[in-house]
């Protein structure tokens, strides 16, 4: 194979084959794109058209069903036995009517002019006698026809057995002469006949009326936007504008979907598409008008599935694509055979070089990842270190300056050979207060170091937690008198409880929480409480201050987190670690009205 020279003829042949393969690939791509667009268009038109037809047909079926029930109610209300109050014959009429519409109705009721139950469709006469005279005058299916003297169609109503039902009632109108000469007749209200429709049965009835080849779901809503029937039974009885309903609609399509439901209440039929997670669904809606009045709206949700004519287009695409793939494969094989004779010498060299480059690339990538991780750690460390230095420098400077100021003031009092001077109590207190503040800051820094190095040690003993709370209140009060007084009132009812823990550390936690409450409470109250349970105690510090800012709350117990101008943000972090080291937990929350509450638990043993 050494010294192979390619002739112009071979070069031209290779170029022709490559051009043919490229052309076939372009043709295949363009035809696939055209076929996909055609599939989407045909499927959408087919589904949208069928959805409109099905919605219209279902609305007509529902309307005829309602007219049938209403016609039955009208016949019963105008029948002579019910007009004359013959209960036995009326019961027979009610039972016969229920038998004719038992697929949808659960029963028919006869109420007199006072809203009392006269009879209902039942074969159990003893049960009927037990409920005769039952007062239903407070129900809308009685009150509204009594006032309007026209048929009434209810919203979804849940009965005691928690099943959603519809009530259709028709007034019993009696015509009586106004005087003995029958010169003028007067129509009077004599009660109502009520038909009870189970919404689940109505929905199943409508769902069964849909063509088996057409996959869709039925929904029903009244003119006020209340869901009467839906596949999700928990939505029945809810208004589509309520929070409960809208919580079930995905946020991506909520605005579009609610808009469709709003437009459906305008008494005009329509069909609109909505797309979610790559699936398009046509929602068609049809108003249900009874006696010229819009009472309900019927919905039909139809996903876009491929129809039979779209299947033919797909099959054609498959055949052509298969042919093109075979041709391209044959050409590729020919090209591969042709260039294999040229390429064998280079193959090993390329493979070896590729292996070396891959190894070097993997090694370089791993080194880059390690360097990136190390760099991020160093940056985070530098950032935290800078934050800590800034905060610590500020906190150290705050107590040092008063101490230096007092020291310089005292130094200026020494004049000549004078070896003694008078020092005021307030100066001593200021020096002690700021020195203790320095000591606490140094202790906090040491505690953080111990916590992060996992060398925090606990020296446990038995002690009364009441003594620590009393001491914390006393020390905080003394610091208030020495520092900037905030006029805070402490409330604590002594509670004695002996626990086994590190006394000094628990005192540190209580003082940190009380100091934190004082810091954000000016002229308010701080209540400290203790609750003992079976296995632990709970200590609560509740203030009436400014509360915890929302952006601080998630990071409240982290290092250097504070919303105060003073403080290192270490106190709550240290307190959390001390409590957790004892096997307890610490929590914080804002009060409903004002301030915040901190609480922590400690095991008794």
First-residue to last-residue Cα distance in the chain: 88
User: Per mean pLDDT, which of 147-156, 251-260, 285-294, 565-574 is the most reliable?
Assistant: 251-260
Return the pLDDT at 485: 47
The pLDDT score that the predictor gives to residue 392 is 63
- Does 315 fall in a domain? no
Question: Is residue 83 included in any domain, yes or no?
Answer: yes
DSSP states along 254-304: HHHHHHHHHHHTTS--EEEEEEETTEEEEEEEEEEEETTEEEEEEEEEEE-
In this predicted structure, what is the pLDDT of residue 309?
A: 52
Element (H, E) at 164: strand 164-177
Q: Does residue 230 carry a pLDDT above 70?
A: yes
Q: What are phi and psi of 242, to 5 degrees?
A: -75, 160
Whole-angstrom Cα distance, residue 188 to residue 209?
A: 41
pLDDT-based confidence at 494, cuts 50/70/90?
A: very high
Lowest-confidence pick of 38-52, 139-153, 299-313, 462-476: 299-313
* Final residue before a domain boundary, out of 250, 278, 303: 303
Residue among 176, 157, 177 nearest 167 (CA): 157
Beta bridge partners of residue 306, listed in sequence order: none
The domain of 486 spans 456-603
Task: Report yes or no: 536 and 604 within 8 Å, Cβ to Cβ.
Answer: yes
- Do the domain assignments include residue 375? no
| Residue indicated by tokens 């058209």 | 49
The predicted pLDDT at position 595 comes to 92
Task: Report the range of poorest mean pLDDT among 16-20, 118-122, 523-527.
Answer: 16-20
- DSSP, collapsed to helix, strand or coil, labels residue 442 as helix
Domain count, the chain: 2
- Range from 4-8, 161-165, 262-266 carrying the lowest mean pLDDT: 4-8
**Which residues, including other chains, have CB under 8 Å from residue 458's CB and lie 6 or more apart?**
501, 502, 505, 581, 582
- Tell me phi and psi for residue 589, to 5 degrees: -155, 155
Q: Are strands 157-158 and 185-198 parallel, antiparallel or unpaired?
A: unpaired
Q: Taking residues 125-152, what's their average pLDDT?
A: 84
Banded model confidence at residue 50, pLDDT cuts 50, 70, 90 = confident
Residue 190 within a domain: yes
Domain assignment present for residue 35? The answer is no
Output DSSP code: residue 116: B
Question: What's the pLDDT band for 388 if we cut at 50, 70, 90?
Answer: low
* Highest averaged pLDDT of the listed ranges 17-21, 365-369, 375-379, 430-434: 365-369
Crossing angle, helix 503-519 and helix 571-581, to 10 degrees? 150
pLDDT at site 181: 54
Tokens of 576: 């959390």
Whichever domain contains 101, its CATH number is 3.30.450.20
Give 63's pLDDT tier (boundaries 50, 70, 90): confident
- Per the CB < 8 A criterion, the answer to whether 236 and 159 are in contact is no
Contacts of residues 169-178 at CB distance under 8 Å and 24 or more positions apart, as own/partner, are 169/73, 169/141, 169/142, 169/144, 169/145, 169/193, 169/194, 169/195, 170/70, 170/73, 170/74, 170/76, 170/77, 170/145, 171/77, 171/145, 171/146, 172/77, 172/82, 172/83, 172/113, 173/77, 173/149, 174/83
Q: Lowest mean pLDDT of 133-147, 184-198, 308-322, 341-355, name the range.
A: 308-322
Is pLDDT of 198 > 90?
A: no
Structure tokens at 160: 């005691």
Q: What are 276-328's pLDDT values in tens digits?
A: 887 888 888 989 887 777 888 888 888 876 544 555 566 566 667 667 767 77
Question: For strand 185-198 and strand 217-222, is the pairing parallel, antiparallel, or unpaired?
Answer: unpaired
Tokens representing residue 253 in the block: 């399509």
Averaged pLDDT of the chain: 80
In angstroms, rounded to a whole number, what is the distance separating the alpha carbons of residues 486 and 480? 7
Q: Are the C-beta atoms of 406 and 423 separated by less than 8 Å?
A: no
Taking residues 417-438, what's their average pLDDT?
A: 71
Q: What is the pLDDT of residues 72-106, one digit of tens each?
A: 999 998 999 998 889 888 888 989 998 888 888 88
Q: CA torsion angle for 23, 24, 29, 30 (degrees, to 10)?
A: 70
Give domain status of residue 6, yes or no: no
**Which residue among 278, 303, 328 closes a domain?**
303
531/109 Cα distance (integer angstroms): 60
Q: Is residue 309 part of a domain?
A: no
How confident is the model over 498-556, as pLDDT tens digits? 999 999 999 999 999 998 898 888 888 999 999 999 899 999 999 998 888 888 888 88
Query: Hey, which residues does 486 pair with through a beta bridge?
Result: none
Residue ending a domain, among 233, 268, 303, is: 303
Burial 239-250 (b: 16+ CB within 10 A, else e): bbeeeebeeebe
Classify residue 128: in a domain, yes or no.
yes
Q: What is the mean pLDDT of residues 435-444?
A: 71
3-state secondary structure of 449: helix
What's the CATH code of the domain at 504? Answer: 3.30.565.10
Which residues fall within 8 angstroms of residue 519, CB to CB, at 6 or more apart?
Answer: 564, 566, 567
Strands 489-492 and 525-532, by their bridges, are parallel
* Per-residue pLDDT at 158 exceeds 60: no
pLDDT of residue 307: 47
Question: What percentage of the chain carries pLDDT values higher than 70?
Answer: 76
pLDDT given for residue 52 in this prediction? 83
Residue from 292, 294, 73 nearest 192 by CA: 73
Residues above pLDDT 90, as percent of the chain: 18
């Amino acid at each position: 194979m050494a010294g192979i020279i390619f002739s112009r003829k071979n070069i031209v042949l290779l170029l022709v084959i490559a051009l043919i393969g490229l052309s076939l690939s372009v043709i295949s791509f363009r035809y696939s794109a055209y076929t996909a667009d055609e599939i989407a268009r045909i499927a959408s038109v087919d589904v949208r058209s069928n959805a409109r037809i099905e919605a219209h047909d279902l609305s007509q079926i529902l309307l005829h069903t309602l007219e049938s029930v209403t016609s039955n109610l009208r016949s019963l209300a105008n029948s002579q036995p019910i007009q004359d109050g013959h209960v036995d014959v009326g019961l027979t009429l009610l039972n016969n009517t229920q038998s004719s519409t038992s697929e949808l109705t659960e029963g028919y009721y006869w109420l007199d002019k006072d809203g009392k139950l006269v009879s209902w469709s039942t074969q159990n006469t003893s049960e009927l006698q037990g409920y005769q005279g039952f007062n239903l005058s407070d129900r809308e299916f009685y009150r509204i026809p009594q006032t309007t003297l026209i048929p009434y169609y209810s919203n979804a109503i849940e009965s005691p057995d928690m099943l959603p039902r519809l009530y259709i009632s028709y007034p019993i109108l009696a015509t009586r002469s106004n005087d003995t000469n029958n010169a003028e007749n007067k129509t009077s209200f004599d009660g109502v006949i009520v038909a009870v429709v189970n919404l689940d049965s109505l929905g199943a009835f409508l769902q069964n009326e849909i063509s088996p080849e057409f996959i869709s779901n039925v929904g029903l809503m009244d003119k006020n936007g209340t869901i009467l029937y839906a596949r999700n039974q928990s939505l029945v009885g809810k208004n589509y504008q309520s929070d409960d309903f809208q919580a079930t609609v995905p946020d991506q399509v909520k605005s579009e979907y609610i808009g469709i439901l709003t437009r459906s209440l305008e008494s005009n039929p329509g069909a609109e598409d909505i797309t979610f997670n790559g699936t398009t669904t046509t929602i068609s809606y049809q108003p249900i008008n009874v006696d010229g009045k819009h009472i309900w709206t019927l919905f039909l949700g139809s996903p876009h599935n491929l129809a039979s004519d779209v299947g033919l287009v797909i099959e054609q695409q498959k055949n052509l694509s298969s042919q093109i793939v075979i041709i391209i494969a044959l050409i590729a094989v020919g090209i591969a055979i042709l260039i294999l004779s040229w390429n064998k010498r280079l193959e090993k060299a390329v493979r070896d070089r590729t292996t070396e480059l891959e190894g070097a690339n993997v090694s370089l990538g791993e080194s880059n990842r390690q360097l990136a991780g190390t760099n991020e750690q160093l940056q985070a460390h530098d950032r935290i270190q800078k934050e800590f230095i800034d905060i610590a420098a500020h906190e150290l400077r705050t107590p040092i300056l008063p101490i230096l100021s007092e020291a310089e003031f005292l130094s200026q009092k020494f004049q000549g050979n004078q070896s003694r001077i008078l020092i005021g109590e307030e100066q001593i207190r200021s020096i002690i207060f700021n020195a203790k503040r320095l000591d606490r800051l140094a202790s906090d820094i040491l505690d953080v170091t111990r916590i992060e190095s996992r060398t925090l040690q606990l020296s446990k003993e038995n002690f009364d937690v009441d003594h620590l709370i009393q001491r914390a209140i006393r020390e905080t009060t003394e610091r208030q008198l020495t520092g900037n007084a905030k006029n805070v009132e402490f409330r604590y009812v002594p509670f004695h409880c002996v626990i086994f823990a590190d006394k000094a550390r628990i005192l540190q936690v209580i003082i940190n929480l009380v100091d934190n409450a004082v810091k954000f409470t000016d002229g308010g109250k701080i209540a400290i409480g203790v609750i003992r349970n079976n296995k632990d105690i709970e200590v609560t510090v509740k203030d009436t201050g400014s509360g915890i800012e929302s952006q601080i709350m998630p990071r409240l117990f982290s290092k250097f987190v504070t919303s105060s101008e003073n403080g290192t943000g270490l106190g709550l972090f240290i307190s959390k670690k001390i409590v957790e080291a004892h096997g307890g937990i610490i929590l914080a929350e804002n009060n409903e009205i004002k301030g915040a509450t901190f609480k922590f638990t400690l095991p008794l043993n």
